[in-house]
């Protein structure tokens, strides 16, 4: 950038930051995420550092942030309510330590406390003779908004301390700092309530918590299940601990909620770095959202002596995790046809960078949720990408609407074949009603060859599409009559690769019956239900002859799935498919292998398995449970005794948690069978 470009960029950044500040603090309707704001701010700060002549008195960098509201009474804080500087990497943590080292006596040994960085709103709580006398927001750091009636509604903020009779003594006046947040489950529950009342759910927990605690009407705050964690003493007129570590224990002993399962004290900065890096992978295991960890000098005298730069104390920094949410524009919604015909809405987005990758598409889950969240085409939306899950649209930013947004209607015809769309009563999914839909068939075949199903190695999505396009296959069964000549006509196939694929196709003819049943792509029939069906019927022909009533007597199989199975086999195309598979020599039955009974340890117990277990395959775990007298069923109910949970568990885990069914991992299951117990 040349000088005039730099000048123009600084001006642009100032304008943007002013606008977003106004939207955030005055309108309470931000249209970008906090981390997007931070990025703009950091860019301006860097430009100004490199070109100090560009700093203007009205630059947002020259102002201490404020979230004061016009309509609430003000209180003056007994000491400045400071903020925190951010660091984003181990090197920046080391640079922070070096900077403060220059201000400290040589060779001083420091200890550090690491705490969660709660993503909420600061509250300043004043206790007089142990009684909660006042609650305030941070405001501009000097003055805060008086929100005393609101904080009184937060259950985790004690009204009197010490809460328990044998707690420590409290100074006449004690001012405590904490953070008001939502626990994830409480935020989800609040949104369930909103949806049940026909109201749009909240998109962002932090902003909702901030809005709730700053309400003018405390009755509204009381309806929001907020939680407060406390982590510091702002002022006291009596003896209080001399270190941060002891302060946290003291606050806990007084009856405040503290994050004692996360906080750690370290003598070595490299241990701090190892902990914060390792924690990043665990951040989602906490019951609340954090956007990083805070590193503080343990000794409070040293911490205070280090002083302040701007509004940030030198003695503490926030180590921020990469942002998982970003805002972008929803350009369009595509309906994707799945293998069972279900139409899944997919968001087509203006490309946006989120937690390390560029996201162009995101899940919109289903059409009911789109309506509940009132997401429209053209909306600015919040996109979240967290861990390995598929990116999804959290919700629209209503404040950014221009009026040109268009509502999203579920399709009435299949986008691939034009057939009418159906929907089962009580189900959220819309689906293509045409069993011969070319997209459904393609998806079905892709699934048929995949690892979860018939496991035909060497044939992926692209190969299947090519085979279909060239007319070499029309259905799953045609795979088994492919020749080397056929395969050599495909792009990227030479002799060796073709022979390998033919070998894996041959091997797939011998897959266990349960795999074949799962591979057929019947709605509601995943690997667990397929196991159940294989064990009950032992052959495709007997399964094909089963009635809905008979199927429904199988434990773990609901009426929708029973109907889907009967309908599937009633379909002429599918009957032909089975006959073609038979003619090609694919295994369609299996011997009822009598299970030797090893013990009766699990007699009377019913198990559900979800996710991938570390060593046992699904059918092995099932056989093992049965050999010890237990039963395995396909879905969780009140009657389930245990749910065995592996990697990437599905909705069965959620259901089990809702019903309070005890959970086991593989080791737990094996321990139950251990006859030395
Ligand atoms: S200490 C004087 N500790 O993060 C020390 N702050 O980005 C400054 N926050 O304004 C605060 N968790 O609202 C501290 N464990 C924690 C925190 C925490 C969240 C918030 C706090 C602060 C903001 C700075």
Question: Cβ(369)–Cβ(347) under 8 Å?
Answer: no
Quote the pLDDT of residue 593.
62
Quote the pLDDT of residue 675.
66
Query: How far is ligand 1, taken at its centre, from the CA of residue 120, in Å?
Result: 9
Global pTM value: 0.66
Residues with CB under 6 A from ligand 1: 82-84, 115-118, 122, 179, 231-232, 294, 313, 316, 318
What DSSP state is assigned to residue 22? I
Residue nearest to atom 18 of ligand 1 (CA): 117
Q: Give strand pairing partners of 185.
A: none
| Residue 637: band (very low, low, confident or very high) from pLDDT cuts 50, 70, 90 | confident
Mean pLDDT of 488-508: 91
Report whether pLDDT(409) > 60: yes
pLDDT of 278-318, one tens digit each?
Answer: 998 888 889 999 989 999 999 999 999 999 998 899 999 99
| Residue 490: band (very low, low, confident or very high) from pLDDT cuts 50, 70, 90 | confident
Quote the pLDDT of residue 388.
67
pLDDT of 427-443, one tens digit each?
Answer: 788 999 998 899 999 99
- Nearest ligand 1 atom to the CA of 313 is 2
Query: Is the Cα dihedral 278, 98, 120, 42 positive or negative?
Result: negative
Quote the pLDDT of residue 595.
66
> What domains sit in the chain, N to C, each tagged with a CATH number?
3-62 (1.10.287.610), 74-320 (3.30.470.30), 325-406 (2.40.50.140), 438-508 (1.10.150.20), 513-583 (1.10.150.20), 606-673 (3.40.50.10190)
Question: Cβ(535)–Cβ(626) under 8 Å?
Answer: no
Which helix (H) or strand (E) covers residue 86, if one does?
Answer: strand 85-87
- Nearest ligand 1 atom to the CA of 119 is 19
| Active-site annotation holds for 509 | no
Exposed / middle / buried, residue 591 (Cβ in 10 Å: 0-12, 13-18, 19+): exposed
430-432/421-423 β-pairing: antiparallel
Query: How far is ligand 1, taken at its centre, from the CA of residue 117, in Å?
Result: 6
- Nearest ligand 1 atom to the CA of 259 is 15
Quote the pLDDT of residue 635.
82
pLDDT of 189-216, one tens digit each?
Answer: 999 998 888 888 888 899 899 999 998 8
Query: How far is ligand 1, taken at its centre, from the CA of residue 314, in Å?
Result: 13
Catalytic residue (one of 46, 117, 373, 652):
117
Residue 576 neighbours by CB distance under 10 Å:
12
**575 vs 611, which has greater pLDDT?**
575
- Nearest ligand 1 atom to the CA of 122 is 13
**57 vs 75, which has greater pLDDT?**
75
At residue 392, what are phi and psi to the nearest 5 degrees? -140, 160
Ranking 97-111, 127-141, 385-399 by mean pLDDT, the lowest is 385-399
pLDDT of 578-607, one tens digit each?
Answer: 999 999 999 999 876 666 788 888 988 999
Mean pLDDT of 253-275: 96
Quote the pLDDT of residue 196.
86
Question: Cβ(220)–Cβ(150) under 8 Å?
Answer: no
What DSSP state is assigned to residue 394? E
Report whether pLDDT(64) > 80: no
Query: How far is ligand 1, taken at its centre, from the CA of residue 43, in Å?
Result: 22
Report whether pLDDT(413) > 60: yes
Report whether pLDDT(535) > 80: yes
């Amino acid at each position: 950038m040349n000088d005039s470009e730099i000048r123009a960029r600084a001006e642009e950044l100032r304008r943007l930051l002013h606008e977003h500040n106004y939207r955030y603090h005055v309108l309470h309707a931000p249209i970008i995420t906090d981390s997007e704001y931070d990025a703009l701010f950091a860019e301006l700060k860097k430009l100004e550092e490199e070109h100090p002549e560009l700093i203007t008195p009205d630059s947002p960098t020259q102002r201490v942030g404020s979230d004061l509201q016009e309509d609430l009474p003000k209180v003056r804080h007994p000491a400045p309510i400071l903020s925190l500087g951010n660091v984003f990497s181990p090197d920046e943590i080391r640079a922070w330590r070096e900077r403060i080292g220059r201000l400290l006596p040589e060779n001083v040994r420091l200890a550090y406390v690491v705490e969660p960085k709660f993503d909420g709103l600061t509250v300043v709580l004043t206790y007089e003779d142990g009684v909660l006398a006042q609650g305030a927001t941070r405001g501009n750091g000097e003055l805060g908004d008086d929100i005393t009636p609101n904080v009184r509604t937060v259950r985790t903020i004690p009204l009197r301390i010490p809460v328990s009779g044998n707690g420590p003594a409290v100074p006449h006046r004690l001012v405590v700092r904490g953070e008001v947040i939502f626990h994830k489950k409480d935020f989800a529950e609040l949104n369930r309530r909103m949806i049940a009342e026909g109201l749009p759910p909240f998109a962002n927990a932090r902003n909702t918590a901030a809005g709730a605690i700053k309400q003018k009407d405390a009755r509204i705050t009381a309806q929001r299940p907020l939680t407060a964690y406390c982590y510091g003493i702002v002022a006291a007129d009596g003896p209080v601990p001399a270190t941060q570590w002891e302060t946290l224990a003291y606050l806990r002993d007084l009856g405040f909620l503290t994050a004692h399962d996360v906080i750690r004290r370290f003598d070595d900065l490299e241990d701090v770095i190892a902990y914060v890096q390792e924690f990043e992978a665990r951040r989602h295991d906490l019951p609340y959202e954090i956007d990083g960890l805070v590193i503080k000098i343990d000794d409070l005298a040293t911490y205070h002596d280090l002083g302040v730069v701007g509004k940030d104390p030198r003695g503490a920094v926030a180590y921020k995790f990469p942002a998982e949410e970003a805002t972008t524009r929803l350009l369009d919604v595509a309906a994707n046809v799945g293998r069972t015909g279900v139409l899944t809405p997919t968001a087509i987005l203006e490309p946006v960078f989120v937690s390390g990758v560029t996201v162009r598409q995101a899940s919109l889950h289903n059409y009911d949720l789109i309506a509940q969240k009132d997401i429209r085409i053209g909306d600015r939306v919040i996109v979240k990408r967290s861990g390995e899950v598929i990116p999804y649209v959290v919700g629209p930013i209503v404040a950014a609407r221009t009026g040109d947004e268009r509502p999203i209607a579920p399709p009435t015809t299949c986008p691939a074949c034009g057939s009418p769309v159906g929907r089962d009563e009580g189900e959220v999914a819309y689906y293509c009603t045409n069993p011969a839909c070319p997209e459904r068939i393609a998806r079905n075949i892709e699934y048929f060859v995949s690892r979860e199903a018939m496991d035909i190695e060497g044939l992926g999505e692209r190969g299947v599409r090519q085979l279909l396009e060239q007319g070499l296959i029309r259905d799953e069964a045609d795979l088994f009559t492919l020749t080397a000549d056929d395969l050599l006509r495909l792009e990227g196939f030479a002799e060796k690769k073709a022979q390998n694929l033919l070998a894996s196709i041959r091997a797939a003819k011998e897959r266990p019956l349960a795999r074949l049943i799962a591979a057929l792509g019947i709605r509601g029939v995943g690997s667990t239900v397929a196991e159940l069906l294989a064990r009950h019927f032992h052959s495709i022909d007997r399964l094909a002859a089963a009635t809905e009533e008979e199927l429904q007597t199988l434990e773990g199989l609901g009426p929708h799935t029973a109907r889907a199975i009967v309908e599937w086999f009633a379909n002429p195309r599918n009957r032909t498919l089975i006959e073609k598979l038979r003619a090609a020599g694919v295994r369609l039955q299996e011997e009822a292998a009598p299970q030797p009974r090893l013990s009766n340890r699990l007699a009377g117990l019913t198990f559900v398995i979800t996710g991938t277990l570390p060593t046992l395959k699904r059918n092995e775990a099932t056989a093992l449970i049965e050999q010890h007298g237990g039963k395995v069923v396909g879905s969780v109910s009140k009657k389930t005794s245990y749910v065995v949970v592996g990697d990437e568990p599905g909705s069965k885990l959620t259901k089990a948690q809702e019903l309070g069914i005890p959970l086991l991992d593989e080791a737990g299951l094996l321990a139950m069978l251990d006859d030395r117990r």
